[in-house]
Structure 1
Amino acid sequence: MLPAEAGPNAAFYVVLNAGSGHSETALRESTIRDVLGDAGRTCHLEIVDDPAKLCDIARRMATQAKENGGVVVAAGGDGTINTVAHEAVRQGCLFGVLPQGTFNYFGRTHGIPEELDEAVRALLDARVTPVQIGMVNDRIFLVNASVGLYPQLLEAREEDKRQYGRSRIVAILSALKTTLGRYRPLRIAMDAEGITRKLRTPTLFVGNNRLQMEQVGMEPMSVALEEGELAAIAPRQVGKLGMLGLLLRGALGRLGDADNLVAFSFKRLSVKHAALSPRRRIKVATDGEVTHMRMPLEFRVVEGRLMLLKPAAAPDAGADAKA
Structure 2
Amino acid sequence: MPPSSETRAPPLFVVFNRASGRGDRDEVGPAVEAACAAAGRGCELLPVEEPERLGEVAREAVRRAREVDGVVVAAGGDGTINGVVQAVLGSGCRFGVLPRGTFNYFARTHGIPSDLDGALRVLLHESAAPVQVGLLNERVFIVNASLGLYPQLLEDREAWKQQFGRSRLVALGAGVATILRGHRSLRLTIELQGQPRRVRTPTLFVGNNALQLEQVGLPEARAIDGGALAGVMLKRVGRWALLVLLARGALGQLGEADQVENFSFRRLTVKARFFGARRIKVATDGEVLWMPLPLRFAVSPHALMLIRPDGLAQERREAQAAMASAAPAGAPSTTESGS
TM-score, length-scaled by structure 2: 0.87
Equivalent residue, structure 1, for 2:269: 270
* 1:311 aligns to 2:293 (yes or no): no
Aligned counterpart for 1:298 among listed residues 275, 296, 299: 296
Displacement after TM superposition at 1:303 (Å)? 5.2
Q: Does 1:286 align with 2:270?
A: no
AA matched with 2:95: F
Larger CA deviation: 84-93 vs 144-153: 84-93
CA displacement at 1:104 relative to structure 2: 0.8
Separation in structure 1 between the aligned mates of residue 62 and residue 128 of structure 2, nearest angstrom: 16
Give the alignment of 1:189-208 within 5 angstroms. Answer: 189-208=189-208
Query: What root-mean-square deviation, in Å, do the aligned CA atoms of Structure 1 and Structure 2 show?
Result: 2.2
8 Å CA contact 2:148, 2:185 repeated in 1: yes
**1:19 shift after superposition:** 2.7
Give the match for residue 225 of structure 2: 226
Aligned residues between the structures: 312
Per-residue CA distance 1:41-82 (angstroms, 9 max, x = gap)? 111111112111111111111121122200000000000011
2:332 is aligned to none
**Cα distance, 1:98 vs structure 2:** 0.5
1:22 Cα deviation (Å)?
A: 11
SS of corresponding position for 1:91:
coil
Which letter maps to 1:281? R
Q: Which amino acid aligns with 2:287?
A: E
Counting only pairs closer than 5 Å after superposition, residues 168-187 of structure 1 correspond to structure 2 as 168-187=168-187
2: CA distance, partners of 1:260 / 1:23: 38
Task: Tell me the residue number matched to 1:25.
Answer: 25
Structure 2 equivalent of residue 71 of structure 1 = 71
Q: Distance in 2 between matches of 1:184 and 1:99?
A: 35
TM-superposed CA distance for 1:318, in Å, is: 11
Q: Retained in 2: the 8 A contact 1:122–1:312? A: no
**Equivalences for 1:2-41 in 2 at 5 Å?**
8-19=8-19, 24-41=24-41
1:29 offset after TM fit, Å?
Answer: 1.5
User: In the TM superposition, what is the alpha-carbon distance from 1:205 to its structure 2 partner?
Assistant: 0.2
- 2:258 is matched with 259
Give the Å deviation of 1:182.
3.5
SS in 2 for 1:180: helix
Identity among equivalent pairs (%): 49
Q: How does 1:65-104 map to 2 (within 5 A)?
A: 65-104=65-104
Structure 1: any 5+ residue segments left out of the alignment? 1-5
Looking at structure 2, the residues matched to 271 and 7 of structure 1 have their Cα atoms a distance apart, in angstroms, of: 49
Structure 1 residue 250: Cα displacement: 0.7
Shift of 1:315: 4.8
Q: What's the CA shift string for 1:277-308, capped at 9, x where partnerless? A: 22211111111111111011000112552110
Residue 8 and residue 318 in structure 1: after superposition, are their counterparts in 2 closer, same or farther (change >3 A)? Answer: farther
- The one-letter amino acid of 1:78's match is D
Structure with the bigger RCO (C-alpha within 8 Å, sep 6+) is: 1
Report the secondary structure of 2:249's partner residue: helix
Kept in 2, the 8 Å contact 1:58–1:84? The answer is yes
For 1:60, what is the secondary structure of its paired residue?
Answer: helix
